[in-house]
Each structure stands twice: as C-alpha cells, then as structure tokens.
A and B are shown apart, each in its own frame.
Chain A
Amino acid sequence: MPTISINLKDFEQLLGTVALGEATAGRNVLTAESLEPWLSLVKGELKDHDHETGEVRVELQDSNRPDLWSAEGVARQIRIKLTGAAPAYPFFGAKPQARRRLLVAPGLEQIRPYVAACTACGYAVTEVGLAQLIQVQEKLADIFGRKRSTVSIGLYRLPAIVFPVTYDLVKPDDARFTPLGFDDKMSLREILAVHPKGLEYGALIAGHDRVPLLRDDEGQVLSLPPIINSREIGEVRIGDRDLFVEVTGTDLLMVVLTLNILAVNLADRGAAIEPVQMTYPYETALGKSMLTPLDFGQPRAIAVQVIREALGVPLEPKQIREALSVYGCEVRGSKDKLTVKLPPYRNDLMHAVDVVEDVAISRGYGSFEPVMPSQFTVGGLSRVEQMSDRVRDLMVGLGFQEIMANILASRQELIERMGLTGSEWDRIVEVDNAMSQTFSCLRQWLVPSLLRVEAASTRSFYPHRLFEVGEVAVPDQAEEHGSRTRMSLGALIAHASANFSEVHSSLDLLLFYLNCPYSLEPVAHPSFLPGRAGRILLQGHAIGLIGELHPEVLEQWQVTMPAVVFELEVDRLAEGTVEKS
C-alpha cells in the first residue's frame, strides 16, 4: 500500500489550530516523534524521517481509504479527532445550477465511460502544495486507479479554459496538441506511438477507432485521458490560483470518490470548490446528469447491539455516537439503532463491521481490556503431521541429519540432472510467470533437494546421512488442481563405500518400527544404476523408490562420492496405519 511523503511544516499548517507538538520555547513544533502515536488513527506507519528537510515518510495500510493517501487526508483525520468536529464542505450540497458544464459524447460508454470534474479557486499553489497534488494524483491513479485503468486524474489552469468542456471521442488523426514534455504539436496517433506516457498507458484505450479527448468550447485540447495533458492548459505551476480538476475512468463511484477526495484536499488548503455539471448521453448509476463533487454515500442503519457484540463492550449509544463523530462520521438516532453516514470522501462502509472498526480506532485499541476466549478446545496434530514426526524421530535415531529446502526449484535440478528428460517421470508442476529459472517448478520429489545439499557440502566430513520430510507436488490428471500435495520422506547416504544394502538397512529398520511390512520390486529408473534400484511396495501399492544413484546423475550434480537414496510417501504410511487399526 502507498507510502507518502509529508512535510512536517506543511502538515502543521494543515492541522490548523490544533497542535501535536511539544511546547518548546513558547511554541509548538511538530516532530516525527510527536506525530507517530497519532498515525494509528489512519493505520499509518512511520517509515523514515529526514531531519534536514523535515520530510517524513508514512506507509498507509488501508487500501479502502484512499482519502488518507495524502498529507491533507492524514491531517484531516487527526484534526477531526482533536477538534471533535468534522469539517464542513458545503459544496457537496450545492444548488442544482452550476456555472460550468462538461458534456459527454456518445460512444464513450464503450471505452472509458465516466468523468467527474470541479473547479478550485483562490488557493495559490505553493511548492509543497504542488508536490502533494502531484503525489496524491500519482497514488490515486496508480494504486486506487490500478495504473490509471479505472481512474486517472487531470489538473489544469482554469483561466485558459472556455466552457463548456466536452469529453469527446475522436479519431486519432483528427486532433493535435502539444503534450507535456514535448515542444511541438502532435497528432493523437503520434502521441500514442511516441510519447513515453502513450507507450505506458496507450493499451488502456487501444482497440477502438476513436480515443477519448477532453477539449473546451474553442476546441483547445485539455488532455488525452488517461494518457497525457496538454502542455498549454494542463501544466499547473507554482502560483496558479484557479484550477480545473477532472477524473475519468471505468467505475463511476470510484471516479466520483476520487474527485471528492481531490476537492476536499484542495478545500483544506483554502481553495473555493465549485461543482461542474456533468451531462451524459447515456444512463449511469447516478443518472444522466449530475453535479460533481457529489456525495453519493447513503446512511446505513446499524443496530447498537451489533457493535456491542463485536467489540465485547456494552457501549452506550451516546458513546458510540461520540466515537464515530470524532472519527468524521455523521451519526443519528439514539436508542438501539443508529444511522451512520460516512463523509463524502469515504466509500468504505460495506458492512456494519466497518463501523465497528471505526468505533474501535476512534476510542483507541488500548482502551479495550483484553479477555481470554473462555471456551475449551482440544489441540492436536493432523494424522500426516503425526506420522511425519514419527518418521523424523526414527530417521534421527538412524543417524540422519535433517535438512530443509525450498519447494520451488528448477526443471534442470528436478528433471534434467536426474536423467528423467523424456521418461515417464518427466512431469512436474511448472510456474507460468516465474521470476527466475531457479525457482520455477514445484519439486515432485525430494532427492534433488538432498543432492543440492550434498553437492554444496563436499568439504563437510563424511559419512553424510541426510533426510528431509517435506511437501512435494505430484502431477496427477485425476486431481482437480492437476496435482496432489504429498508429504514425502527422502534420505541420502554418501561416503566412499555407500551402497544399496546400507540404505536398504535404514529403510528396513524405519518401516519395521512403523509397522509397515513392505517389499521391493526391481525398477528401471534413469536416476539409478540399473539392477540396483527398486520400488518400495506397501500392501501392493508403490509408495517410493530406493537405489544407488547413477554416476551420470552424480556427475551432473558434481558430486564425487557414491550416494544411495530412498524416498517414500509419508501420507501413504499414515493411510496404511489407518487401515490396520
């Protein structure tokens, strides 16, 4: 989730009259240390702090609270708690008549259907304010808007625009403008083909003969959403006082919510927000015509009992109301039912439990007294785990050192070096989007894991006796997932005179103590020396392999000691004991 930069001085101004800092020399100075305890209100974690610049970096955990991904948002949540009052944003209740309009062209419902916009006047953009604007724009479009696919944002210099603005659909050769970062006018087709942002985001609007375009009444281009702004109108600079803000996207509520967040952020910095009238030629969830920013949130009725039960504390309705209002929510009602409405910059109230958490955070997690769950339960291990533990104990008793290995390995280790290419054993579960070949397949047996240790430990004194009890994935067409997860035991003995009978003795004793009468049947397996390998049979079922590793295999692994191994399925042993009991 996003990590944002906050300038402490700027943050102090955003907090307004309330102060978090220590009183030093008659004045409060906000420090990272004094900020940190308050970050639990926003699920924030202080990452680092630059004493020189007064910048702190804060990671915001809650992916459902994009309103907190800015200095303004974090400051707002803390300010509400400290002042006990939610800020008023009167522009959400604006009269139906707006001075400015934005018209949506037909056909956009197929490409990028939604747009929301407003104006923000009277706040002269400062350097730190501009940095925050750019940061919130990036975080919202990148993370909340999933790399601009569901939401992207444009900011413009308002005085250059002649209203009404049209959210249009044009052929890529029919319009030209100078994009940010370039000096000359280019056709939309050229921008998509050449501009870095065109290359990065062009795919979002590809596949249609026309592309979205925002332009004003005089035909001046504002931007090619969601790619790039015009250089003339869409480059906000320090000192600009009047801005036009728009959001386009594929999810109407996310588009409007994003605009709401930008609007309250700018309002918190002193800008006067004026809504703009959207007019759609097609139906939307909020109608064909709407004023944005728009508070689309609905009040929700929540039983007091639900909150009490979830928190385990018999809170009075008054206490709940208080907790929620100092967290920014509107609460009505009194007795056993409360009506809760989130502020317009939030849309994360899906269920009553979301309110429960707001109450808990607002009251502080430290204010709840922990109690132990009182009901009695019996602990225990799964049958497979019990069998694994018995097997491991016996292997240790037989003188084997336990190893642990990654389950992800390479095809080279699992198949090629084992001589299995093209054989009936040439089947493994492979990852499609592997990051490196080294970790691209799930191991189907443990012998390669043991050989990896053996190959890396030629200097460790001999004899080597290694084992692992661990999970493998065995390909199996009959399974729902195309493979089965199995618990396997692999054992390896390596020293100058290691041979079949030595490893056979270990297997024999192990299965004796596990009370599993077994037999061996010769097998022609490419990993083993012919005539020195067998299948381990338990009640007629093959449950594993035993043998002397083929010198070819040892050479492939650059192991210069004779090595003998066995491997068997521990979960089959567990099943076996079920049948007997």
Chain B
Amino acid sequence: MDTLSQIGSLHPLEIKVLTVLGQHQTQQARPLRQEDIGHAAGLEPSQLSMAVEWLLAKALIRVESEVVTPIVSLSKVGERYFEKYAPIERILSVVRDAKQTGKRITIQDLQAREGLEPSEMSGAVGSLKKEGAIRIVPGGHVEATGAPSPLAESLRTLLKDLHGAPRELHAFSEPLRRVIEHYAVKRGNPNEPFRIDDRVERRYQLTPTGQEAAQTIATQGLGDEVSQLTPELLKDGSWRTKRFRQYTISLRPPRLSAGRRHPYREFLDLVKRKLVSMGFQEMRGSLVETEFWNMDALYMPQFHPARAIHDVYFLKEPTHARAIAEPFLSRVAETHRSGDDTGSAGWGYAYDPERAKRLVLRSQGTAVSAHRLASGPAVPGKYFSIARCFRYDQVDATHATDFFQVEGIVLGPDINFRTLLGLLNLFAVEMAQAKESRFLPAYFPFTEPSVELHVRHPKLGWMELGGAGLFRPEVTLPLGVEVPVIAWGLGLDRMAMVALGIHDIRDLFSTDLDMLRTTRGHF
C-alpha cells in the first residue's frame, strides 16, 4: 500500500496522533509520553489508546522507550487502617491506657476487645515487642514500656500521605520504603495496607513510514476529511473539497433483525402454491367438529375399533352441537344401519344420533372434505386443505398434540383406481421430487380401494409420502355426490423437518426467537 492510500484509510483519531507526533519530532525534543500526546491531540484516554494500538499495528509509530515506575497506594485494608487505625496502633493505645489506669491486660483480652484476627494480633504484638514498645510480663500480661514505636509512627505517616493519593515508591525515604514493602499486598497475603503497582510509561516515535505519512499530511493536508456524506455536503457542493475516509470493509457488520416468514409456514406456503398450481381449490373448516362430520359421515361406525384409530378430544362445554344438518344426518344414519340405497349392506347397528352431535376437536382433515362433499362441490373438482388437527397423544419428539394435515379430494366421472395412482404419481414428483414411487395396499375406514404411496426421495430415500383411496359410496352418496371421489392425504412433516434441519417435531412450533431468526430452510 502506498503512503497516500494508507493515509486515506486512516481514522480521524489516528490522523490526530500522527500530526501531534509529526510536529513534535521536528522540534528535536524528547519523544512524547502517551498522556502528552493525548493532551496535545485533545483525545480521551480511551480514544487515544485505540488510536495508538491501531498505529502500532500499522507500524506507523513505535515505542521509543518504556519506563516502569512502581506506584504505592492504599489497599482497601489500608484505607480502613487510615480511618480506624492499624492493629499495631490500636494495641499500643490500649496497652498505654491500661498502664495509666493500672489495669492488667492479657493477649486474649486485647484480642477480644479489639476484635482482631489472631494473625493480625500476633504480627502486631511481635513487632511492638521487637521494638521494645511493649513487653510480656509473667502471667501473660502485656505492658507498655513507655518507649516509642517508630513502626506505628511510620505507618501513620504513610497512611496519611497515601490516603486517596497514590505516589511513586521512590518518593519515600529508604526506611519508609522498607515499611511499605513489608506491609504491601503480595500474592498469598492480600490483607495488607499498601499496594505497589507498576506504572508503565511509554514514549512514542514515528517510524520512517509514519514520518512520511505525517509529512504528507502536513504538506498536502487531508483536504478536510469526513467520515459521513451528509445532505449539507451535497447541497452546498462542499463534498468536492472533502476527503472521505476509507473503511475497513472486511469487518463484520452490526446484526439486523428482519421481518420474515416462519420457515415452516414458508414450507407450507410452497405446498399450498404447488396444490393451487395443480388445479386444487382450498377448503377451510372448523377446529371444533361434531363426531358426525369428523367420523360418522366418513362411514366410521360408532362402535368399530377403527374408531379407536382416532382417539379424540371431547369438549367440556357445550358437549354437543344442537343439531346436525339434514338430510345428511338421516341419510348417514340409515347408511350405517342398513346401507340405505348406497348398494351397501351397512354396518347393521343401532346408530345413535345423539352421539353424532358430540363435539370433538377435529382429529382428521378428512372432516373438512366431508363438509365440502355435502355442500355441492364442483364436478369435476379438486380440493385441498391444510388443516390443524388434534390427537390424543403423549407429546414427544415424534408426536405433536396439534399439527397440520395436508389432504383433499378429487372428484369427477373419470376418477378410478388408475387415475388415483396417476394423481399419486404426480404428488410424488411435485411434492418430493421423486423419480421412483410404488403403491401398497392400505386401510382407511372411508376408502376402498386404499393405497399407500411410497417414494424414493432424493435425500431421504424410500419414505411413505401419503395415503389415498376412492371414497366408499357409503361416504359419497349420503352426502349427495354421485361421481367417484379420490380422498388423499400427504405426510409432509418429515420432509419439512429435514428441510428445516430439525429433529424434534415440537421444534416446528418453536418458541425460540433465535432459532426462528437463524433457521434458513432448504426447500
């Protein structure tokens, strides 16, 4: 990078520092300390240290010299001693008072009275004894000798001098320095009154490149460097005389939160669009259904074990619908009883019209199809719904209590077993991009024949994609539909989970915003 382009990418803070150092260097004076630079450039310490770091990294300045100065200050313990006296002072004072009043004092008395730690106690007593300021007389009593304690006095002087004002260690006389060093916080001994920190003082100098840069800045000027193009600059045209700082564009940008569709919904939208593009009309239904539309209309007898396939949720209040629309109730009832005129023998049991009114949470999307059949569907017609359904299941990684079912119907005079297979082939290609598919016999209470569609998914291998069949005449005729009807359903959740990179079906309805913000989805 040449000097000019290097200058172009300099941050305003860096320029200020370079300028200060450049001017200083021409005076042939001693290199500047960091604080001098800050002062001269008018920078806050944090701005200054950033700029210095950057310039060092770019090798535009270098450290000329480094001086380490030990600085003494009071630790928390020291500040406390300043306020409330050091143990050595307190002991001396108590022992001297006792001598005047003639009381006798033991070490234990002292310790209890002053609330001192055993370690503080023994250290202080030891020092005072060594100095001859106190003595221990037989019987374990402590007595003042009347001699002064230079240590106590030095401590007081130091505490006073250093209270709130750290100073260089070398500013103290040799004896005081020894006291400080003796009573300084050290590793393993944190409860001392003084602390000694090294203050590192660096002086900085321009490197030859830095000099060149500083000179260029000084002689050619920067123009006037700005970081942001503003409306004002545009209005008065003054941008022409400005220089725009160049950015370091490799840095990561600040994060944004976007407005975004839910990834699972995005998947379902895709399914929806596919179905519409294949000529399917959407149907909608109610979350709360009657047993009639949820099961009876689908020729699932009220008694049969097939009904146990759909373990359903019942409602607390109200428990039953007021009525079921006629003529459907009568026709379905008669079909269950005797087959009516559907050509069927019927289930042959006493159909309970009250049971038909019982309210349930929709357990299968086919309930929506049943309503559609009963309300005059177009012939030929294709319909689909993406319906929320509810199952009485223990919730775990593979079972959800409410989930979407994608399913629908196709009706028309040309509908038969082969067109059913043809439709399923279309689904295999359109929904799963499958090149291979196969059909297996299946069982659903409301279709005959019934088929399971297995496909070879390009990523997942062989999987069951859905089930379908021709609605039994016992389903279609009582609802007023005279043409054959395909009923189909697709199991897409596994494909959705793979597309979303999740392994737990509960994560389709995740409450974790971070997960929603970061899931991309590969559809």
**B416 proximal to A (CB < 8 A):** yes
Interface residues of A in 483-526 (CB under 8 A from B): 483-485
B412, A360: Cβ atoms under 8 Å? no
Known: A43-B442, A431-B315. A463 touches B284 (CB 8 A): no
Residue of B nearest to A484 (CB): B286
9 contacts between A and B (CB under 8 A): A311-B416, A313-B418, A371-B419, A399-B259, A405-B509, A430-B316, A453-B513, A460-B517, A483-B287
**B1 proximal to A (CB < 8 A):** no
B288, A442: Cβ atoms under 8 Å? yes
Contacts of B176 in A (CB 8 A): none
A366, B438: Cβ atoms under 8 Å? yes
B380, A439: Cβ atoms under 8 Å? no
**A51 proximal to B (CB < 8 A):** no
**A379 proximal to B (CB < 8 A):** yes
Known: A351-B342, A408-B390, A459-B514. A400 touches B416 (CB 8 A): no
Q: A382-B282, A439-B395, A465-B257 are in contact. List 13 more A-B contacts (CB 8 A).
A: A43-B440, A43-B443, A62-B443, A356-B449, A374-B414, A376-B279, A379-B276, A384-B284, A407-B402, A432-B315, A457-B514, A480-B323, A482-B317
Interface residues of B in 396-436 (CB under 8 A from A): 400-402, 410, 412-419, 421-426
Please tell me which stretch of A79-87, A268-276, A389-397 contacts chain B, meaning at least 4 of its Cβ atoms lie within 8 angstroms of it.
Answer: A389-397
Known: A43-B441, A350-B339, A453-B513. A357 touches B380 (CB 8 A): no
Contacts of B470 in A (CB 8 A): 310, 353
Contacts of A144 in B (CB 8 A): 305
Known: A373-B380, A430-B315. A380 touches B512 (CB 8 A): no
B141 → A minimal CB distance (Å): 62
**A182 proximal to B (CB < 8 A):** no
B259, A395: Cβ atoms under 8 Å? yes
Interface residues of B in 229-271 (CB under 8 A from A): 255, 257-262, 264-265, 269
> Within the assembled complex, what's the spacing in Å between the Cα atoms of A236 and B303?
32
Please tell me which stretch of B17-25, B62-70, B187-195, B343-351 contacts chain A, meaning at least 4 of its Cβ atoms lie within 8 angstroms of it.
Answer: B343-351
B288, A483: Cβ atoms under 8 Å? yes
The interface bits of chain A over 43-56 (1 if a CB of B lies within 8 angstroms of the residue's CB, else 0) are: 10000000000000
**B511 proximal to A (CB < 8 A):** yes
> Within the assembled complex, what's the spacing in Å between the Cα atoms of A570 and B480?
32
> Within the assembled complex, what's the spacing in Å between the Cα atoms of A385 and B368?
15
**B484 proximal to A (CB < 8 A):** yes
Residue of A nearest to B346 (CB): A350
Contacts of A459 in B (CB 8 A): 514
5 pairs of A and B residues whose beta carbons are closest in the complex: A312-B416, A457-B513, A370-B421, A312-B418, A357-B449
Contacts of B474 in A (CB 8 A): 350-351
Residue of B nearest to A427 (CB): B317
Known: A351-B345, A395-B259, A481-B288. A365 touches B421 (CB 8 A): yes
Interface size class of B (residues with CB under 8 A): 35 or more
Residue of A nearest to B299 (CB): A350
Q: Which of B317, B424, B486 has the most A CB atoms < 10 Å from its CB?
A: B317
Residue of A nearest to B289 (CB): A481
B313, A404: Cβ atoms under 8 Å? no
The interface bits of chain A over 27-45 (1 if a CB of B lies within 8 angstroms of the residue's CB, else 0) are: 0000000000000110100
B132 → A minimal CB distance (Å): 64
Contacts of B276 in A (CB 8 A): 379-381
**A456 proximal to B (CB < 8 A):** yes
Contacts of A352 in B (CB 8 A): 343
Known: A311-B418, A384-B284, A385-B284. A404 touches B262 (CB 8 A): yes
**B353 proximal to A (CB < 8 A):** no
B402, A401: Cβ atoms under 8 Å? no
Query: Which residues of chain A have a CB within 8 Å of any CB of chain B?
Result: 1, 40-41, 43, 61-64, 143-144, 146, 150, 253, 309-313, 349-354, 356-357, 360-361, 365-366, 368-382, 384-385, 389, 392, 395-408, 429-436, 439, 442, 452-457, 459-461, 463-466, 471, 473, 480-485
Contact partner, A373, options B359, B378, B423, B443, Cβ 8 Å: B423
A373, B412: Cβ atoms under 8 Å? yes
Contacts of B414 in A (CB 8 A): 373-375
Contacts of B331 in A (CB 8 A): none
**B394 proximal to A (CB < 8 A):** yes
A399, B472: Cβ atoms under 8 Å? no
Contacts of A384 in B (CB 8 A): 284
**B439 proximal to A (CB < 8 A):** yes
Contacts of A464 in B (CB 8 A): 257, 513
The interface bits of chain B over 451-470 (1 if a CB of A lies within 8 angstroms of the residue's CB, else 0) are: 10000000000000000001
A379, B316: Cβ atoms under 8 Å? no
> Within the assembled complex, what's the spacing in Å between the Cα atoms of A375 and B278?
12
A80 → B minimal CB distance (Å): 16
A453, B416: Cβ atoms under 8 Å? no
Contact partner, A382, options B283, B359, B421, Cβ 8 Å: B283
B449, A461: Cβ atoms under 8 Å? no
A485, B288: Cβ atoms under 8 Å? yes
A485, B287: Cβ atoms under 8 Å? yes
Known: A377-B279, A457-B511. A353 touches B316 (CB 8 A): no
**B85 proximal to A (CB < 8 A):** no
Contacts of A471 in B (CB 8 A): 287, 388
The interface bits of chain B over 497-515 (1 if a CB of A lies within 8 angstroms of the residue's CB, else 0) are: 0000000000011011110
Residue of A nearest to B345 (CB): A350
B418, A369: Cβ atoms under 8 Å? yes
Contacts of B412 in A (CB 8 A): 373, 375
